[in-house]
Structure 1
Amino acid sequence: MENLSLDLEWNKDWDYLTKVKRPSRYIGGEWGLLPPKDDEENIISLCLAYPDVYEVGMSYLGYQILYFLVKSLDFADVDRIYAPWPDMEEMLAKEGVPLRSLEMKKPLRNFDLLGFTLQYELNATNILTMLNLSSIPLRSADRGDEDPIVIAGGPGALAPMPYTPFIDVFCMGDCEELLVELLSILYEHRSFAREEKLKLLSKIDGCHVPLMAGRSGRVKRRIISLKEAYAPERFMVPSDKIVHDRASVEVFRGCTRGCRFCQAGMIYRPVRYRDPERVCELANKILSQSGYEELGLTSLSTCDYPWLEETMDRLGPLLFEYRAALSLPSLRMDPKAIDVALKLEEMKRRGLTFAPEAGSQRLRNVINKGVTEKDIENTLKAVFEAGWSKVKLYFMMGLPTETEKDLRGIVDIIGMARFLGRSYNKRTSVSASIAGFVPKAHTPFQWEAQNRMEELMDKGLWIKRQFRQKNVSVSFHEPAQSFIEAVIAKGDEKVADVIERAWKYGARFDGWGETFDLSFWLKAFDDCGVDPYHITARQIPYEERLPWDHVDVGVTKEFLWSEREKALKGEITGDCRWSGCNGCGLRDVCFSGDVRHES
């Protein structure tokens, strides 16, 4: 297998690696990399920039796809960079050393393009850190011909206004084809001035160039067939432990379960399946070239893959050959999921994860979860009876229409899980994680208010106080972080000023408890004259223009509002794969051959 050897001739500028935590985050040289291309002067260079630490960014399947996709092009090359931890940021600034890419050790400012993924709102300040350490002007309007073009994709690109001053080009939707078109145009016109390049890129379907279009231009999300989409046949293997340390194959994209709080379930529609033959082929090639001992079949709801059990049976001999285990993301609480889980002996050691989301049947109907009280009880009985001794449950608090009875229901489900588990095995452990509801763009709950921080804190502490047993662990997400997440998720262009001001005060890695500091943000709100509660804590009327209304994700605003109305009535909407078209707006692309519908 080809692999880059780690250059042991340390440049004096890199001596500081011995002075920071986890230097493995910054050295590169991972197994499975492809060498840089020789003709650097005549290709377009892209650096994929993930605005979080190495162990999070290396777990992101999207960068595995894009890295090998760009490497397959004869006119482009690619490298990677991840956000430096504050100790490394301080060291770089002190020594006057620019932020460099992992393999080429090339300053980010010397790339033609710098590509960020807007995966999580609380990574926003890290983007500014990475630009600043690279001597790239923070704002697009201040950049010149010598600066790279800064592009961004991911879910955050579909609600772009808080990022707009910092990003030159937003890539909206599926990027496998879009990125190739973008790179091709830049290659063909690499001698053009920056403004001319941006004009050309603004004409690509799915590209939004704020300096060219302003807010008035409506941009449509790119949607591709998964049968034709590029998929990597090899993987980069990390040089240190990462969050999800396994090989992964995407079995399908999109979800039509219709959970009303779920942004991914709306913005990744329609459902597009990958053929089981191709899934197994990819798994074979990746495992044979990476040495991974775990394979993940990924999607938003893998148990809904129509050929899942068939695929698992096909993978059996392959997994045995490579001594690899199969893993699935969190499971639905239904009989099919349990049948699947029973085949995964390796998961008995690690436990199973389920997401009831809400504590009462009434509230599960409001959010369209499609899970009944009986489903929950039967699932827990089945997994404990089958020998599992570890179960993790995910819930949300602060959901629209939530009452004290709904919160009591969370306590009751956790208590039921403990009781049922201990009836089979006294050493059974149950953990529950509770996140505060964050209203997101392009969902039926985009108009809803978020609970104030104090309310979420009171709810989380109350639930936690109900359990003192050693075999029950209850945690809840920091409400202040959920608050800032909602501000960025629903904010307009004024929030960009807040992000920059909070960053100047010292905001870094706001998604991490040990580095998050709310005071930086509160001072920034005051300085910028922005009332954050006007963004998060009020119900928005339908006729009010939303900051992301210029982005067409395919799912119509009328459908989202009708789903909100049904939520308030406690009405369920069925999955269109089995109950017929719900009129979300994507019918024309939904029946293109990738989707299997059953009546």
Structure 2
Amino acid sequence: MDNKINYILKKVKTPGQYINSEYNSETFSIYTKWNKQNVVKICLCFPDKYVIGMSNLGIEILYKLLNSHDDILCERIFVPEIDMEEELRKENIELFSLETKHKLKEFDIIGFSLQHELCYTNIFTVLSLANIPFRREQRKNLFPLIIAGGPCSCNPHVLEEYIDFFILGEAEESLIKVVKTIQEFKIKNITNKTTLFCELNKYNEVYLPGYSKKVYPAVVDIKKSFYPKNPTVPIIRTTHNRLNIEVTRGCAYKCNFCQSTFINRPLRFREKQQLFELIEEGLNNTGFEEIAFSGFCVTNYPYLTELIDFVHKRYDDKYVSISLPSLRIEDINEELLKGLSYPRKSTITLAPEAATERLRKVLNKEISNEEIFKKISLLYKFGFFKIKLYFMIGIPTETNEDIEQIPKLVKTLEKYFPKMSFNVSISVLVPKPHTPFQFCKMDSYENLNNKLLFLAKSLRKEFKIKSIKSKIYASFIEGLISRGDKYVGRLIESVWSAGGRFDNWSECFNVDLWIEKIVSEQIDLQKYIFTEYNDVEKFVWDDVQYSVSKEKLYQKYLSSINQIKSLEHSFVPTCEIIKDAHVSAKPKQDVAYSNICTIRLRFSKKGMLKYISHLDQIEIIKRALRMANLPLCFSQGFNPQIKMSFAPPTPVGYESNSEYVDVELFYPVDVKSVKEKIDKCLPYGFSLLAAKIFFAPLNKIPALNNVVNLAEYIIFCENEVNEDMLKNFFETKDIVIEKQKFGSSTITKVNLHEVVKNIELIDKKIVVLYLRMIPNKTLKPEFVVNKIFMLEEDNCYNIIRENLYIENSNGNILGLI
């Protein structure tokens, strides 16, 4: 199995997402529990790519929580990208877990986190690759149970033919309760599904297809709930590569379109002291350079500025920056912006949603245009010049005037704040279940098309859109799935069978395929998304009851659409506009240490870590240096970075004992203790081999990338090599080959004797090669070996870059440490 996996990883892009080896993962604990009796084995699946799923806080909390129990093990799986799916099918390899590479069929429970409707086709990819029947009635055995949760499960009926049961609401306590019940059945060797489901049906928050009852999603006390102090650190760069600290849960606002507002009530705060501890332990255990305070209502947290001050005071020398989710315009204030303005300024995201005050009242976002100008002026003052503005179209009662005011508002802001860069995002309103807008219909294709055409023309610089048709239909499909029943579930399966994958990614969304299948499956869009409903209409999701009743939601809907149209305020602001008075990032003075030095580090990467890229490797080393608490020097300016310089990178797929980096320090450190500290902070497969101090700043030492010009490789061949071929190489004066640079038509002639310093055989299957690095003439070692010994292309199955050297003009070789 491992050899097969290694084989296909060489053929796919971004192989690092399939290897595990993450720092702080639970792999060791999982291995120790795997063969223990009565341990419940769970595999959590995020139905999207690793780079998205590893940024999801819910998955991380459940992963750590489940593994904290001695009698439960939890692994993870993310959806393989299309190239990996093709390789798995071609090599007949069943889908495996991330940590131990066990087949998914070997688990007791496979749990899907339903975060977005356009990820639903990916569920079928996972089940298909795992060779697990789609329909629940086709799965005769008790295990594996296919379960689901997450925000989209607030309407479980669309997947009711495929999922055994759903856990609705916040799952920290509910999932443990359910798993313990399943464990009891496992211990007693009861394999009857009906008996188990009757037992699970007693839980208010569990929805079992075919069992009629009212479901009440779970709500937890976050002051007492589990939260990981040693978060798993992704092995490759992800969408949000930072420490995520949940400050609040729920939302105090009641935006009529926002499903999260209504299904995550009430608003709850974590204790201030608990957050101080989570921040400190989280940063110390991960080495992240950014911390995100998350929650729908972060700016409502009464101690937010204290949290920000705590980070700055405690981690001032490490330049830890702070980010917040989309800011409520009314919550922006000077104290908050002062805390966010250093050490790095990020793009500020604001969501006025509509450009007219009347339409914002329809959404229940009562912000005046005057307030928008006032707060953007404040952002300008503090030097936040990159602003992202979110608007929505297709809102009930929307008029052409409402649409026309969007570019007018943006252009006026640009006029008054010329140094600012405004990026505009336009989304289509999708009426979601359990919101006041569940009663309204979606806008027509014709109307939305005209609106987007107008906005794209009016905001050529600020608003970019590749395909208007795809954007509109992606919203229609999202609405269809969110409001769907079992027939829509069958539509999703049909789309998947015809090739639908990763519909949440614009480059993968196949609009024509969806249209074709909607027609062939006889799905009536008028019924699902183009009809306005009243409060007596029975929705398929009515058996799920959140804190706000259907009657109250309908009253809010009626109130919102009956807003009286009033004259808008002029776009000439009456508030004070601050010009050319922005506050710079907190100044960082150069410390006049006379003993600034540079430490040279030599790392090795072995095993599966050979599949990570050089950029991912840089992030691993940076985090390790931070966790090791070295006296690091940082660059100056608006984006301080660790002062470091790397040797030439190792290609993806090579193991290495020669990953060199120079790092500037404020003062010398003990080399032995540094090795011990850094080794503890590296993921499995990565280790520090040696270190050396140079008593000079980094800019006084020749950059490794400029002076290293010779690499030593050990190449393992599948078949024996012919020694006579090596003799022939040395006896032949000129062996000229043609090299074509990737993506270029330029051909360069290279003499192998010019680039090969030496080559020798350790035995008939192991070659040691000293290869020069010459600009425009550098060759891959496997290419050189195959050429000299006339081997097949895939014969070199493992390559180790053993060391790097400097070859001077006299041909002498100098080591780096």
Q: Does 1:38 align with 2:32?
A: yes
Give SS of 2:221's match: coil
- The residue type paired with residue 282 of structure 1 is L
Which residue of 2 is the match for residue 209 of structure 1?
208
- The residue type paired with residue 343 of structure 1 is G
CA deviation string 1:106-147 (max 9, x = no partner): 111110000101100000100011011101110111112264
Q: Which moved more, 1:520-529 or 1:258-267?
A: 520-529
Q: How many residues align?
A: 555
Superposed, which structure 2 residues align to 1:76-225 within 5 Å? 76-145=72-141, 147-190=143-186, 191-195=189-193, 196-211=195-210, 213=211, 216-225=212-221
Superposed, which structure 2 residues align to 1:46-57 within 5 Å? 46-57=42-53
Contact conserved, 1:441 with 1:490, CA < 8 A, in 2? yes
Q: How far off is 1:325 after superposition?
A: 1.2
Which residue of 2 is the match for residue 583 of structure 1?
none
Q: Does 1:249 align with 2:245?
A: yes
Q: Does 1:465 align with 2:464?
A: no
Superposed, which structure 2 residues align to 1:404-423 within 5 Å? 404-422=400-418
Distance 1:347 1:435, change over 3 A: farther
Give SS of 2:61's match: helix
Q: How far off is 1:322 after superposition?
A: 4.5
Write the distance in 2 (CA, Å) between the matches of 1:159 and 1:331.
Answer: 29
- The residue type paired with residue 28 of structure 1 is N
The structure 2 residue matched to 1:19, chosen from 8, 11, 16, is 11
The structure 2 residue matched to 1:552, chosen from 541, 545, 553, is 545
Contact conserved, 1:296 with 1:326, CA < 8 A, in 2? yes
Which residue of 2 is the match for residue 481 of structure 1?
474
Contact conserved, 2:41 with 2:107, CA < 8 A, in 1? yes
Q: How far off is 1:571 after superposition?
A: 8.5
Contact conserved, 1:288 with 1:322, CA < 8 A, in 2? no
The structure 2 residue matched to 1:378, chosen from 374, 382, 394, is 374
Distance 1:363 1:338, change over 3 A: farther
- The residue type paired with residue 489 of structure 1 is S
Write the distance in 2 (CA, Å) between the matches of 1:556 and 1:219.
Answer: 13
Q: How far off is 1:335 after superposition?
A: 5.4
Q: Which moved more, 1:350-359 or 1:187-196?
A: 187-196
The structure 1 residue matched to 2:315, chosen from 301, 314, 319, is 319
CA deviation string 1:175-209 (max 9, x = no partner): 00001101111112112214132222222231111
Give SS of 2:254's match: coil
Write the distance in 2 (CA, Å) between the matches of 1:224 and 1:349.
Answer: 34
The structure 2 residue matched to 1:448, chosen from 437, 440, 453, is 440
The structure 2 residue matched to 1:561, chosen from 522, 529, 554, is 554
Q: How far off is 1:156 after superposition?
A: 1.1
The structure 2 residue matched to 1:360, chosen from 356, 360, 372, is 356
Q: How far off is 1:520 after superposition?
A: 2.1
Which residue of 1 is the match for residue 489 of structure 2?
496
- The residue type paired with residue 102 of structure 1 is L
- The residue type paired with residue 501 of structure 1 is S
Q: How far off is 1:290 after superposition?
A: 0.8
- The residue type paired with residue 517 of structure 1 is N
Give SS of 2:252's match: coil
Give SS of 1:343's match: helix
Distance 1:55 1:508, change over 3 A: same
CA-based RMSD: 1.8
Report which of the two has the higher share of helix.
1
The structure 2 residue matched to 1:531, chosen from 502, 524, 530, is 524
Give SS of 1:48's match: strand
CA deviation string 1:416-455 (max 9, x = no partner): 2212220xx3xx3110000001010000000111112332
- The residue type paired with residue 370 of structure 1 is E
Contact conserved, 1:319 with 1:325, CA < 8 A, in 2? no
Give SS of 2:176's match: helix
Q: How far off is 1:323 after superposition?
A: 3.4
Write the distance in 2 (CA, Å) between the matches of 1:117 and 1:527.
Answer: 29
Write the distance in 2 (CA, Å) between the matches of 1:103 and 1:489.
Answer: 32
- The residue type paired with residue 287 of structure 1 is L
**Percent identity over paired residues:** 34
- The residue type paired with residue 566 of structure 1 is S
Which residue of 2 is the match for residue 429 of structure 1?
421
What residue ranges of structure 1 are gaps of 5+ in the alignment? 1-8, 573-599
Contact conserved, 2:491 with 2:521, CA < 8 A, in 1? yes
- The residue type paired with residue 185 of structure 2 is H
Report which of the two has the higher share of strand.
2
Give SS of 1:219's match: coil
Moved over 3 A (4+): 335-339, 346-349, 472-477
- The structure whose RCO (Cα within 8 Å, separation 6+) is larger is 1
Write the distance in 2 (CA, Å) between the matches of 1:394 and 1:439.
Answer: 17
CA deviation string 1:327-346 (max 9, x = no partner): 11111112544531232124
Write the distance in 1 (CA, Å) between the matches of 2:304 and 2:81.
Answer: 39
Write the distance in 1 (CA, Å) between the matches of 2:385 and 2:209.
Answer: 52
The structure 2 residue matched to 1:63, chosen from 59, 64, 67, is 59
Which residue of 1 is the match for residue 505 of structure 2?
512
Distance 1:159 1:338, change over 3 A: farther
Q: How far off is 1:62 after superposition?
A: 0.5
Write the distance in 2 (CA, Å) between the matches of 1:513 and 1:278.
Answer: 40
Write the distance in 2 (CA, Å) between the matches of 1:245 and 1:348.
Answer: 15
TM-score (norm 1): 0.90
Contact conserved, 1:303 with 1:337, CA < 8 A, in 2? no
Write the distance in 1 (CA, Å) between the matches of 2:219 and 2:564.
Answer: 30
Write the distance in 1 (CA, Å) between the matches of 2:455 and 2:356.
Answer: 14
Contact conserved, 1:327 with 1:347, CA < 8 A, in 2? no
Write the distance in 2 (CA, Å) between the matches of 1:338 and 1:444.
Answer: 34
Which residue of 1 is the match for residue 287 of structure 2?
291
Write the distance in 1 (CA, Å) between the matches of 2:303 and 2:525.
Answer: 46
Distance 1:505 1:335, change over 3 A: closer
- The residue type paired with residue 451 of structure 2 is K
CA deviation string 1:481-503 (max 9, x = no partner): 11100100111221111111111
- The residue type paired with residue 401 of structure 1 is T
Q: How far off is 1:458 after superposition?
A: 2.0
- The residue type paired with residue 568 of structure 1 is I
Give SS of 1:64's match: helix
- The residue type paired with residue 197 of structure 1 is L
Give SS of 2:435's match: coil
Contact conserved, 1:256 with 1:270, CA < 8 A, in 2? yes
Contact conserved, 1:411 with 1:463, CA < 8 A, in 2? yes
